[in-house]
Amino acid sequence: MKVLVVGANGKVAKQFANLTQDHNDIDEKAVIRDSGQKSFFDERNIETQVLDIIYNSIEDFAEAMKDVDAVVFSAGAGGSGLDKTVMVDLDGAIKIMTAAEQANVKRFVMVSTFRTGRKQIAKGIENDAPLKIYTIAKNYADEWLKNRTGLDWTIVHPGTLTDEKGSGKIKVGMGNKHGEVPRQDVAQAIIASLENDSTIHKEFEVLSGDEPIDDAIKSV
Amino acid sequence: MKVLVVGANGKVAKQFANLTQDHNDIDEKAVIRDSGQKSFFDERNIETQVLDIIYNSIEDFAEAMKDVDAVVFSAGAGGSGLDKTVMVDLDGAIKIMTAAEQANVKRFVMVSTFRTGRKQIAKGIENDAPLKIYTIAKNYADEWLKNRTGLDWTIVHPGTLTDEKGSGKIKVGMGNKHGEVPRQDVAQAIIASLENDSTIHKEFEVLSGDEPIDDAIKSV
């Protein structure tokens, strides 16, 4: 399966790239923002394409998806400003969904945030406007994916990401208490989602846990 | 018809309030953010309710809508910051739509911006991030209203607003060349939209023009 990863140079996505080395069924095509990010992927024999989620068009992305079977959206503005959060996490995500529809690539895995939704948006207004904006952006991107596209979506809601080595075990489900999870385990959960069509039209949290990742993903 | 105006203290909405004085069929209930804004409405014998679109809940707004027949959304963050734009123009608008659905108030008139949509979002990335964020916010609010609610919506897209006295004549339609329009004429177009159910499920630009407002609105 050829998988276009948008935001391929991010920390979760780089773990994903590493894991594809041991997964012959997953063939990554990495979308990077500038060619300076290329060497990491060259070393791993992963095809790259330079595209910018803000500046390139839907058509550019649809063209890049012509030869792929699935899209993983793992881009995020991070701490680069509220304007970028809206342009990347909300509008950018919806651009990529629209491109996938144009290119007729149905399978779409979204890396979301731990909690979206109204209750979460209502929190932290005074103390943390950036978090609120981020939550709004991710929320409406998820809503769009679920309700406004015909894509075969899966939405992954990871806990607080750490750089620890993955344990290979996670907890899934919705409404869990907040916790941490290594990026490597999240990347593994994304691969397992791509490998299991039972995750289509499902969303679930991913936290450190006791269940082997494949079993957990098959259970969602 | 009792009409809840959200963002009642805005410049277009104040023109609307003035015009209701001559329209016995329109009975305004003004939602204002703080009680210091109350005197303008008291002088015009218009009922007020203090609610904040960011801090108050969907339930608070639904409660305020219990006795109304229609909602006009005319709130906007204006120049108060990108975070407020996302909280008011996007998330706030969707909160009010959800409240209207909860309160079973079907009629909903949205005061949008002149142009939304993908082509417009793609413009001005480098030169005007705030305008781009504003356009994204308004765009997805409009999209939500049109496609994710069961409301009897009308979307008004005014040109650049001026404080000139209204001429009573406008141009409507979509895809017009950009131009100006007095706020008073926009307010009159909102009233005409409320009075004409033929505007349900329609969106149209409002610019200065040659056609009497009532005739123009009936033609959309």
Cα A100 to Cα A78: distance, rounded to the nearest angstrom? 23
Angle B110-B32-A135 (CA atoms, 0-180°, nearest 5)? 65
pLDDT level of residue B36 (50, 70, 90 thresholds) = very high
Residue A25: which of A192, A183, A167 has the closest Cα? A192
Q: Do B86 and A136 touch (CB under 8 A)?
A: yes
Residue B52: which of B18, B88, B28, B20 has the closest Cα? B88
Number of other residues whose CB lies within 10 A of the CB of residue A104: 9
Residue of chain B nearest A53, judged by CA positions? B122
Model confidence pLDDT, tens digit, residues B131-154 = 888 999 999 999 999 988 999 999
Global ipTM: 0.78
Residue scoring higher pLDDT (B9 or B116):
B9
Please determine, for residue B14, whether its predicted confidence score (pLDDT) is greater than 80. Answer: yes
For β-strands B2-6 and A211-212, DSSP reports them as unpaired
Q: What are the catalytic residues of A?
A: 134
- Judge contact between A181 and A160, C-beta under 8 A: yes
Pick the CATH number of B2-218 from 3.40.50.300, 3.40.50.360, 3.40.50.720, 1.20.120.1200: 3.40.50.720
Chain B, 160 to 219: residues with Cβ < 8 Å from chain A are none
Residue B132: which of A84, A130, A78 has the closest Cα? A84
Whether A131 has its CB under 8 Å from any CB of chain B: the answer is no
* Amino acid B155: pLDDT: 98
Contacts of A121 in chain B (CB under 8 A): 91
* Amino acid A117: pLDDT: 74
Instruction: Estimate the crossing angle of helix A129-147 against helix B129-147, to 10 degrees.
Output: 40
pLDDT level of residue B125 (50, 70, 90 thresholds) = low
Model confidence pLDDT, tens digit, residues B63-119 = 999 999 999 999 999 888 888 999 999 999 999 999 999 999 999 999 999 988 767
Hey, which residues does A29 pair with through a beta bridge? Answer: A4, A47
The active-site residue out of B134, B140, B153, B204 is: B134
- Judge contact between B107 and B152, C-beta under 8 A: yes
Written as one string, the DSSP assignment of chain B is -EEEEETTTSHHHHHHHHHHTT-TT-EEEEEESSGGGHHHHHHTT-EEEE--TTTS-HHHHHHHTTT-SEEEE----TTS-HHHHIIIIIIIHHHHHHHHHHTT--EEEEE--S--SHHHHHTTTTT-HHHHHHHHHHHHHHHHHHHS---EEEEEEE-EEE-SPP-SEEE-SSSPPP-EEEHHHHHHHHHHHHH-GGGTTEEEEEEE-SEEHHHHHHT-
Q: Do B87 and A132 touch (CB under 8 A)?
A: yes
Backbone angles phi, psi at A159, to 5 degrees: -70, -165
Backbone angles phi, psi at A161, to 5 degrees: -80, 135
Residue pLDDT tens, chain A, 220 long: 999 999 999 999 999 999 999 999 999 999 999 999 999 999 999 999 999 999 999 999 999 999 999 999 999 998 888 889 999 999 999 999 999 999 999 999 999 999 877 677 766 555 677 888 899 999 999 999 998 899 999 999 999 999 999 999 999 999 999 999 999 999 999 999 999 999 999 999 999 999 999 999 999 9
- Judge contact between B114 and A43, C-beta under 8 A: no
Cα A15 to Cα A185: distance, rounded to the nearest angstrom? 9
Angle A72-A18-A145 (CA atoms, 0-180°, nearest 5)? 10
Compute the average pLDDT of residues B10-31: 97
Residue A87 DSSP symbol: I
Listed in sequence order, the residues at least 6 apart from A150 whose beta carbon sits closer than 8 Å to its beta carbon are A101, A106
In the three-class reduction of DSSP (H, G, I as helix; E, B as strand; rest coil), residue A74 is classed as coil
Chain A, 52 to 71: residues with Cβ < 8 Å from chain B are 54-55, 57-58
Contacts of B88 in chain A (CB under 8 A): none
- Judge contact between A183 and A161, C-beta under 8 A: yes
Q: Do B125 and A57 touch (CB under 8 A)?
A: no
Residue B188: which of B213, B154, B159, B206 has the closest Cα? B213
In the three-class reduction of DSSP (H, G, I as helix; E, B as strand; rest coil), residue A154 is classed as strand
Contacts of A57 in chain B (CB under 8 A): 122
Q: Do A82 and B86 touch (CB under 8 A)?
A: yes
The domain ranges of chain B are: 2-218
Mind telling me how many Å the CA of B180 is from chain A's nearest CA?
27
Residue A79 DSSP symbol: T
Q: Is B55 an annotated catalytic residue?
A: no
For β-strands A107-111 and A152-158, DSSP reports them as parallel
Residue of chain B nearest A118, judged by CA positions? B95
Whether A133 has its CB under 8 Å from any CB of chain B: the answer is yes
- Name the residue facing A148 among B130, B132, B147 (closest C-beta): B147
Tokens for B172? 């409507």
Whether B122 has its CB under 8 Å from any CB of chain A: the answer is yes
* Amino acid A156: pLDDT: 98
Compute the average pLDDT of residues B43-55: 96
Contacts of B55 in chain A (CB under 8 A): 125
* Amino acid B214: pLDDT: 98
- Name the residue facing B82 among A83, A94, A148 (closest C-beta): A83
Please determine, for residue B34, whether its predicted confidence score (pLDDT) is greater than 80. Answer: yes
Percent of chain B exceeding pLDDT 70 equals 97
Cα B30 to Cα A36: distance, rounded to the nearest angstrom? 55
Residue of chain A nearest B123, judged by CA positions? A55
Listed in sequence order, the residues at least 6 apart from A8 whose beta carbon sits closer than 8 Å to its beta carbon are A14, A17, A28, A30, A31, A32, A37, A41, A48, A74
Please determine, for residue B8, whether its predicted confidence score (pLDDT) is greater than 80. Answer: yes
